[in-house]
Amino acid sequence: MKVVRPTMITEAMLTASSIAENDYDAWTSGSAYAKGARVVRLHSIYEAVSAVTANKPPESNSDVWLFVMPTNRWAMFDRSVGTLSTAPNSISVTISPGPVDTLALLEVEGLSATATMKVSGVPVWTRTLSTAAGGAVIDNWFDYFFAPVGTRNVLVFDDLPVYSAGVIDVTIDAGTGTASLSTLVVGRQFNLGTTEISASISNKDFSRREDNAFGTTMLVERAWSKKMNVRALLPTGNVDAVQRELAKLRATPALWIGDESFDALVIYGFYTSFALDLATEANSYCTLAIEGLISS
């Protein structure tokens, strides 16, 4: 069980992107805007909820401007799993995040993703992960032609070498399709212990069932989030370090990796509770309840 405290990607850290930031025209201080107009400001899209006079920047005038979403280029960096960066065929970004050892791509769509780290322009590490997932054995022609192909939408690179001046190139290849990515996470990992096989997985669904006066049932589909309850075995000597690390992560979104071979055990979100059980002089247990950020 590992936790990764994400490094916030700033404008200075994003040194290149294949996605242009041209969703809407940039807001300008000397312009007035009609109701319904949309503008880009500080990598975010805002909509005018009424007529807007000049010199009213969106980020400080919420009475006339409504935040809509991050721009397509910055959606992958907004610490939310409900917004997507998309592009035809591929997405490529270059970031300089400082010393990190883990990179994760959440809700990724494509054929594969390749990450390369360079130091002073020289590659020191590279790795490619496929979104193809193993499934049941296909033993008949019907399944061969019509069974859905298993795919993964969470890719974790957890073996990056740590360089303070490392530059990371990330490319998502979607072939002739559309590449998309909800969240790109980089940071330093902290080992919480060995995940036990008794982990439980569930979803929190915000959809609603509504019955009207005539007995007609309407299903209103809404967002959802991942949840998991997991117990990790750790040396008793590490209990204090684990407790201190978890205390730092109060009300802080982080990447929780129960087991990277299961998408369901990789969650970007918060812990809602934890307990440390000093079982023996040699071994102890850490029990965590994790709830992911809302996904659309």
- Residue 185: the pLDDT is 96
- Residue 236: the pLDDT is 95
- Residue 251: the pLDDT is 82
- Residue 51: the pLDDT is 96
Report in angstroms the alpha-carbon separations of 232 from 1, 153, 187, 191, 287.
Answer: 6, 25, 21, 10, 6
Residue 139 has pLDDT above 80, yes or no: no
**Mean of pLDDT values over 6-10:** 95
Phi, psi of 277, rounded to the nearest 5 degrees: -110, 110
Task: Find tokens 């192909």 and name the residue.
Answer: 149
Give SS3 for 295: strand
Superfamily, domain 7-19+77-189: Galactose-binding domain-like (2.60.120.260)
Identify which has the larger pLDDT, 215 or 43: 43
Q: Please give the full DSSP string across 111-128, using - where no structure is assigned.
A: SEEEEEEEETTEEEEEEE
| Alpha-carbon gap, residue 28 to 39, rounded angstroms | 9
Closest CA to 292 of 43, 157, 156, 107: 107
| Alpha-carbon gap, residue 159 to 110, rounded angstroms | 22
Fold held by 22-71: Seminal Fluid Protein  PDC-109 (Domain B) (2.10.10)
- Residue 134: the pLDDT is 59
CA 151 to chain centre: 17
Phi, psi of 91, rounded to the nearest 5 degrees: -130, 130
Residue 59 has pLDDT above 70, yes or no: yes
What are the residue ranges spanned by the domains of the chain? 7-19+77-189, 22-71, 194-292
Q: What is the pLDDT of residues 240-255, one digit of tens each?
A: 999 999 999 988 899 9
Residue 216 has pLDDT above 90, yes or no: no
Q: CATH topology of 7-19+77-189 equal to that of 22-71? A: no
Closest CA to 153 of 178, 117, 114, 181: 181
Residue 150 has pLDDT above 90, yes or no: no
